[in-house]
A and B are shown apart, each in its own frame.
Chain A
Amino acid sequence: EAQVTQNPRYLITVTGKKLTVTCSQNMNHEYMSWYRQDPGLGLRQIYYSMNVEVTDKGDVPEGYKVSRKEKRNFPLILESPSPNQTSLYFCASRGGGGAGNQPQHFGDGTRLSIL
């Protein structure tokens, strides 16, 4: 089954404690991205990756890092999490390189609470 898998689904942690949210896709997609979704603000893109070893900032990259060492994986790293990063996070992938006419496939989300 084609899917995007995120882990963990839920995480409560404390300020400053480094964490990583993993994302894996089994569709051989080149393009992957991370979003955060906050009430009243909608989905905002954090980082995206066009292919292995190619990443770029989205609209809200501050406080986040990503890496793309393998095509299927695109982890999101919070080196020193702060309470304003409490949010619902989604990983997504799509095929077709940079083509905007390809649908995005989303994971089921990771709810992060940073105390």
Chain B
Amino acid sequence: SQKIEQNSEALNIQEGKTATLTCNYTNYSPAYLQWYRQDPGRGPVFLLLIRENEKEKRKERLKVTFDTTLKQSLFHITASQPADSATYLCALLSGGSYIPTFGRGTSLIVHP
């Protein structure tokens, strides 16, 4: 069955460092991969989308990579700040699919 794995343990890093979050998947051939941020008590907020034929996407301090051979996406936040502390979700969609599959999310804690 299709499976998406995100590290269930919280990632603790120091302010100013680069945070790297991982999204691995199996039994899936996604056409699109999306990353969302979720704060406690709030709905997820879209951050970035990357297509299967793209290796890397950037937006300000954010960078996403997509390796369809390794079946993995990496999400990087450079120069991290305490305000970046949140849970980050990855979501996969097949081409033409209407049902995205979400990972369980990884909590990021940036310490001042």
Interface residue B43 (Cβ < 8 Å from any Cβ of A) = yes
| Known contacts A40-B104, A42-B104, A101-B32; is-contact A106 B44 (Cβ 8 Å) | yes
Q: Is the CB of A105 within 8 A of B95?
A: no
Q: Is the CB of A48 within 8 A of B99?
A: yes
Q: Report Cα–Cα, A45/B44, bound state, in Å.
A: 14
Near B by CB (< 8 A), chain A positions 9-67 give 31, 35, 40-45, 48, 50, 56, 58-59
Chain B facing A: main interface SS: loop
Task: Provide the residues of chain B in CB contact with A101, threshold 8 Å.
Answer: 32, 49, 51
Q: Report Cα–Cα, A41/B100, bound state, in Å.
A: 15
- Taking the closest CB of chain A, its distance from the CB of B73, in whole angstroms, is 15
From the candidates A40, A98, A103, name the one contacting B98 in the complex (CB within 8 A).
A98
Instruction: Classify chain A: how many residues form its interface, as a range.
Output: 20 to 34
Task: Provide the residues of chain B in CB contact with A45, threshold 8 Å.
Answer: 99-100
| Known contacts A42-B89, A42-B104, A109-B41; is-contact A103 B46 (Cβ 8 Å) | yes
From A43, A56, A100, A103, residue with most partner B Cβ within 10 Å = A100
Interface residue B69 (Cβ < 8 Å from any Cβ of A) = no
From the candidates B42, B46, B89, B95, name the one contacting A109 in the complex (CB within 8 A).
B42
- Taking the closest CB of chain A, its distance from the CB of B35, in whole angstroms, is 10
From the candidates B42, B96, B105, name the one contacting A100 in the complex (CB within 8 A).
B96
- Taking the closest CB of chain A, its distance from the CB of B84, in whole angstroms, is 19
Mark B residues whose CB is within 8 Å of A.
Answer: 31-32, 34, 41-46, 49, 51, 89, 93-100, 102-105
- The 7 A-B pairs at the shortest CB distance, nearest first, are namely A106-B43, A103-B46, A100-B93, A42-B104, A43-B102, A100-B32, A106-B44
